[in-house]
A and B are shown apart, each in its own frame.
Chain A
Amino acid sequence: MTQLDHGKFSKMTTTFHTLLALDVFVLFFSGYSLMFNDELWWMVNLMGGAQGVSAVHRIAGGGLLALIVFWMLMMLTTDTGRGNFREILPSKGDFDAFIQDVQFLLGNADERHPNARQFAGGTADEIPLLTYIGKGVVFIFAIELTLLTISGILIWSKTGVMEIMATKTAAAAFVTFHGLLGVIMLMGVMFHIFEHGFHPALYPVEVKAFIPKSMIPEDHDDDTEGTGIELLELAPSWNMASTVVGAMTVIGIVSVLLGSLFDEGYPVPREIAIGGGPTDILLTVGINMGMFVLLLGLVLQMYGNLLRVRWQKQLEQEASEPTTAADGGHVESDD
């Protein structure tokens, strides 16, 4: 049994993913504790009040700007980057994979489509670099991050927007736009955490995002039919964990969606609405659950990196052992 599906990403990509995730988590925690300050007042206090949160958000925003400029340059200036662009273009297979996933859920299909398979197992050679969800994530996050960065830069100094638009209200509108735009990404990241943390064969974290392909020995054992998932043993905690986190993900997504509809910032209301909406206990609990899912994602991604370090140490150790010599003699299991 192995936790390691075939690694598919280069070291640059896995490192970038970790840095981007860390940065985006900080942006979420600082940004949405401002937008949902009725529900996340404790988070605002934790980061040193409104001024502290703004400072944290700007520092992380600067980091995001550097990261996406770097990524764009890498995609444009290197052969690997330009070559990989083809891999993320949507194809008919991706649409088929979506339809087949619905069929799989309904019991009308026996397997997930290769373009949907997160656990490749014995079929690793057939499956593309990214699943259809993976491609969607790349596209949606790329568009979102670009728009968020542009609107973020515009409101970096709000007086500038005020002067251009000749009204103070415009600054409020751009802040609102920036926050509402991020809600899609917020919901998407919650799904992303559930999708890659709670696949039964890969639970609790899909290590291919953290261990680069250069560190995964290739061992093609093609005599098994299908993915071979039936050979794996389900983790005892999976049932409970996936149910609890699945429920929290759903509640979190619904709550931030409702919260975003109520927490309006434009048009600026004539009267001060204390709380800015129905600040009831359910919404507070729900939004905090969503934040917990994000925190869980942060923890899981640190765990993924911990596994990478352990894996590297194990490889180094195995290589330095004299018993694993040229004859292939192993003294211990290599799973």
Chain B
Amino acid sequence: MSYREHLPETKGYPRTAIAINAVVALAVTALILWWAADFAVFYEELFRIQPVAEGANAGVGSDWTSGNQIAWLDFLIAITHAADVIMGVFILFMVFLHWGAFRRLAGRMRQPGDSDSSAVAADGGRVADDAADDDSAATDGGESR
């Protein structure tokens, strides 16, 4: 490990803490999974007929019908859909934001091979105004003009 002499002293995590926590984590995982596996009940003991729904849907399979009407489950799914859409739109915006920023930064770098575009690096250029929310930002937002 002689190469370490030239490297900085950095504050890391103690080896013993890593070892102990790794063992504890594996033990906790084993316990949780053991509990989760034991969580199962033999499927034949589950309601074969559970007439919790009235009317035409009563009888065999009626628990499917009643389960479909649990309002808070419906709400949970709906709110997750909403979170997906909101976060998805936000993440897409962040992709375009970075894509555009990367193209601008790339324009400042020396171009591959030749340095004929050094003037681009100096002036900072200008970027299309609609770059933030537009797919075309990707292709024309750069400064390689």
Contacts and interface: CB of A to CB of B under 8 A. Distances in A.
Contacts of A318: 3
A234 B22 CA distance: 42
Interface string B60-97: 00011011111001101100110111011001101111
Interface in B111-145: 111-113, 121, 124-127, 129, 131-132, 135, 137-139, 141, 144
Given A162-B46, A253-B91, A177 B3 contact: no
B49 interface: no
Contacts of A236: 112-113
A250 B91 CA distance: 9
A188 interface: yes
Nearest to B93: A102
Interface residues of A, number: 96
A266 B74 contact: yes
Nearest to B35: A153
B8 A213 contact: yes
Given A217-B6, A319-B5, A80 B77 contact: no
B58 interface: no
A323 B42 CA distance: 72
B62 to A, nearest CB: 9
B101 A159 contact: no
B66 A167 contact: yes
Nearest to A324: B6
Nearest to B38: A157
A169 B104 contact: no
Contacts of A177: 73, 76-77, 80
Contacts of B144: 239
A260 B95 contact: no
A131 B103 CA distance: 19
Contacts of A169: 63-64, 66-68, 70, 73
A179 to B, nearest CB: 9
Interface string A232-245: 11111011001100
Given A12-B18, A173-B76, A180-B81, A166 B108 contact: no
B40 to A, nearest CB: 3
A198 interface: yes
Contacts of B77: 173, 176-177, 180, 266
Contact of B102 (A156, A242, A253): A242
B70 A165 contact: yes
Interface in B6-62: 6-8, 10-14, 17-18, 21-22, 24-26, 28-29, 32-33, 36-43, 46-47, 50, 52
B10 A73 contact: no
Nearest to A74: B21
A332 interface: no
Given A232-B110, A234-B106, A319-B2, A260 B63 contact: no
Contact of A62 (B29, B52, B88, B100): B29
Contacts of B40: 157-160
A104 B101 contact: yes
Contact of A260 (B10, B81, B111): B81
Contact of B36 (A104, A156, A168, A194): A156
A170 B100 CA distance: 44
Contacts of B96: 250
B95 to A, nearest CB: 5
B112 A233 contact: yes
Interface stretch (A24-32, A48-56, A105-113): A105-113
A27 to B, nearest CB: 15
Interface in A29-79: 62, 65-67, 69-70, 73-74, 77-78
Interface in A182-222: 183-184, 187-188, 190-191, 194-195, 198-201, 212-218
11 contacts: A74-B21, A105-B127, A112-B101, A160-B36, A180-B80, A180-B84, A187-B91, A230-B108, A230-B109, A253-B92, A266-B73
Closest 9 CB pairs of A and B: A169-B67, A167-B67, A157-B40, A319-B3, A70-B25, A160-B39, A200-B106, A156-B36, A236-B112
Interface of B: 2-8, 10-14, 17-18, 21-22, 24-26, 28-29, 32-33, 36-43, 46-47, 50, 52, 63-64, 66-70, 73-74, 76-77, 80-81, 83-85, 87-88, 91-92, 94-106, 108-113, 121, 124-127, 129, 131-132, 135, 137-139, 141, 144
